[in-house]
Amino acid sequence: MMNCLRLRHLLSASVLMLVLSSGPLLAQTDVEEEVSEKTPIPLSQIRTFAEIFTRIKLNYVEAISDEQLLEYAIEGMLSGLDPHSVYLKGERYNDLNEGTTGAFSGLGMEVIMEDGFVKVVAPIDDTPAAEAGIMTGDLIIRMDGKTVTGLNLSEATERMRGEPGTKITITILRESEPDPFDVELTRALVRLNSVKRKRLNDSIGYLRVTQFQIATAENFRKELKQLRESDGFEGLIIDLRNNPGGLLTSAISVADVFIDEGLIVSTKGRLGTNDQDYRATPSDFLDGKPLVVLINGGSASASEIVAGALQDHGRALILGTDSFGKGSVQTVLNIDDKEAIKLTTARYYTPNGRSIQAAGIKPDVFVEYREFKDREKGFKRIKEDDLPGRLDNDSGKKESLEKPTKKQEEARELLARDYQLNEAFNLLNGLILFNHKTKKQESISTSLDKPKSQ
């Protein structure tokens, strides 16, 4: 009993000294010092913590080190705040820059913890997860037969990581399926090209952004320049579906490509140091040409910043379904050269002051994901040309259609299998035609208004 009391008193004193000594380390700004001075140290809770710590040390079924217990306490403290605040140590700390540099070994999906399960925010293009058909909103309830209940986010993602070529079986719970089902995935070295470019026809370009990494904004401008300088270019579709986000600075730079003035996004936190306004520079790479942005439930964080800014400025029409709703800012605070915490420090707000958090971006044109019916299997309608004895066209022979190029065929196939993209394509075509008619009408009105010489 005497040893138990001595351990408890020693631990209480140690924890108290740790809390007291941590003040100067954390109070790096005048604001933080002021908050620290106004917040009394909760001595009763510290004593409770020391008591629980002691009882675990003495009574737990297996011996456990002080370091491990304290690490569990830190992880629990952060995970209790929100799904995005985490403790980074060891491999987790070394892997900190993977998402921003675009290379890692694993399955290729952005995940969070929800109700004790791993929830998929979005699968990443051209990765094992995407190729296996993993979908936004899927709940991973088991990995290799072992439940994920009780794991924190870092532990769950560590299980999904591994050497390229190794396999893992995950059990998925999907809203549209009556029962859980297993999916076997082979881990791979994922190298992400965050921007992809296509021409959908002579006048419409398409840019797919899979994540917002360090080089995304620069690559986005390069690919847009290729489209803009091609003959006949008149409009652009930006695809942000299943884009889980990334760097705030990268998202701001992409939005700034099309917005020539005003606010792009603002952040507001409890401390004044986290309040920031990010404004556009005077340039629009498209010179006002029409723009359609695709989003869905897998569009999160940085994707929502871009979509919200373009929507509030009236610079683009947003098409698809409601976005994910992650409107919080995480800041990495280094503890030393081997560990850090990623802490939620602020919320995002669109130019009109809308909070993205748990609300997301609502599209201007709501279009759910659907699959096209195979047109070859459908009934072929009879046309005038099929009728016996029909009149010939008096303008001469029918115009012979040129055989489409390989790129044109690829674009047609892409549109034929992607309902939402096809709807965006039709919408953008309509905007382009409307602009043509408006300009033609303005030209006619101007010529009518000119005084005639007598």
Catalytic residues: 301, 312, 326
Are 348 and 366 spatial neighbours (Cβ–Cβ below 8 Å)?
Answer: no
Q: Tokens for 155?
A: 């532990």
- Our CA angle for 97, 100, 105, nearest 5°, is 70
Helices marked H in 60-187 — which ranges? Answer: 66-79, 91-94, 98-101, 128-131, 153-160
Are 296 and 239 spatial neighbours (Cβ–Cβ below 8 Å)?
Answer: no
Query: How far apart (Å, rounded) are the C-alpha atoms in residues 449 and 438?
Result: 16
Are 292 and 427 spatial neighbours (Cβ–Cβ below 8 Å)?
Answer: yes
Closest CA to 59 of 14, 8, 13: 8
Give one word for 61, left, alpha or beta, with left for phi > 0 and alpha for psi -120 to 50.
alpha
- The terminus-to-terminus CA distance of the chain in angstroms comes to 117
DSSP structural state of residue 261:
S
Query: How far apart (Å, rounded) are the C-alpha atoms in residues 373 and 43?
Result: 67
Are 179 and 212 spatial neighbours (Cβ–Cβ below 8 Å)?
Answer: no
The length of the chain is: 454
All residues at 6 or more sequence positions from 186 whose CB lies less than 8 Å from its CB, including other chains = 128, 165, 166, 167
Q: Tokens for 329?
A: 């800012």
Q: Tokens for 273?
A: 């140091």
